[in-house]
Amino acid sequence: MNFIIIIGLTTFILLCGVLFNVLRIKKKRKKRKNAKAFTIKSKTLRIGVIGAGQMGTVLSGLVERTGAKIVVVHDIKHEAAEKLANERKGAVATTELNKLFDTPMDGLLVCTIPTARIEPIKRACEKNIHLFIEKPPAYDLVGGRECLYAIKKSRIMAAVGFQLRYDPRYELLKQLIKGHDVHLVRTVCTVGFYLDFQISPWFLQKKVSGGPITDQAIHLLDCVRYVFDNSRPTLAAAIGIKNMAPDRTDFDAENALQLMYKLDNGVIGVHTNHCGHEKVHFDLELIGPHLRLKANMTEPTIRGIIKGNEINEVPPKVNKLGGLDKVDAWLKAIDTGNRGYIRSDYAEALNTQALVDAATKSQTTHRVEIAEKV
């Protein structure tokens, strides 16, 4: 495996820490310590964490490497809060929201389950605390709109954790397709949840996680929207099945799923998702009259054809933001007051949530659903 493939897989680990076991996460964190990182210049930012699971652990580690300080950790399980607080030396551990928000802080990492975000987001807005919200932006658009109202009213900076928007691979893809018609897009996501069960059980419970569309497909769906300059969804339909782990009746998330959708630029997309596959794949392919390109995360190049010419382009090692990832960009936006560093603010992320909601609804209605406007 060459260096470029390792970079792609590294980005994916940052994106989906829940897909890998604790040992691999520790290895990843060790590598990140040796990487050149963005450093806070104007002052030491004080950052809180709500949700002390794997993503809270990974993201708070990325915060610390910039020079910002984790000052408080909240979790409904005291032992989890205390464990992460001890790792982030000097942080307060608490299970009480009042104690969390009584702690002075500049920003808050929201890493809870999707169904437990509305109250902490609204309370952070009341105190003018900037927010980094791990995907999805909300459990559904109803809650998302409620949060968006509070965010707009407070004028805080609220970013959502869509790491693929910061990947130089997709910056390059945007450049390659300029001036060319694209009519179809195909994405594929495979993970091993139903094979190894190396994740928290709630990921496979739709009433909590929202299922594979909300938990997994959402990354690639958002990436497609980014590649097409944030085109908005108009229609969506999905069909899925759970035909693995029949003895696990506590799990109802589909292991196999197909999704079709349309964007307002006329592009039709199809997404394939399997969360019981032995290898991780994050694949993206574009098709047009004179173009066919594949930009797969596990491959070293973007390859295909444009007007009969073979394309085999190696993505740059760093993005146009100087290598900032989703956490760095949020912190730099806070540090400088420049919202332009954030490529997926909360309002924009809700457009991807609208696609997710329409697709999820279609699984119940068995119809093509209209994606609601944010």
What span, in angstroms and rounded, lies between the C-alpha atoms of 149 and 347? 10
Question: What percent of the chain clears pLDDT 70, i.e. is strictly above it?
Answer: 89
What is the rounded average pLDDT of the residues 79-88?
Answer: 97
Question: Which residues sit opposite 239 in a β-bridge?
Answer: 258
pLDDT tens-digit series, residues 253-289:
999 999 999 999 999 999 999 999 999 999 999 999 9
Q: pLDDT band for 39, please (50, 70, 90 cuts).
A: confident
pLDDT given for residue 366 in this prediction = 97
**Rounded Cα distance, 25 and 54, in Å:** 9
Total-model pTM:
0.88
Strands 302-306 and 268-274: unpaired
What is the tens place of the pLDDT at every residue in 142-175? 999 999 999 999 999 999 999 999 999 999 999 9
The answer to which of 3-7, 341-345, 356-360 has the lowest mean pLDDT is 3-7
- 10 Å CB burial of residue 161 (0-12, 13-18, 19+) is buried
Q: What is the mean pLDDT of residues 351-364?
A: 97
Answer for the pair 290, 282: CB distance below 8 angstroms, yes or no.
no
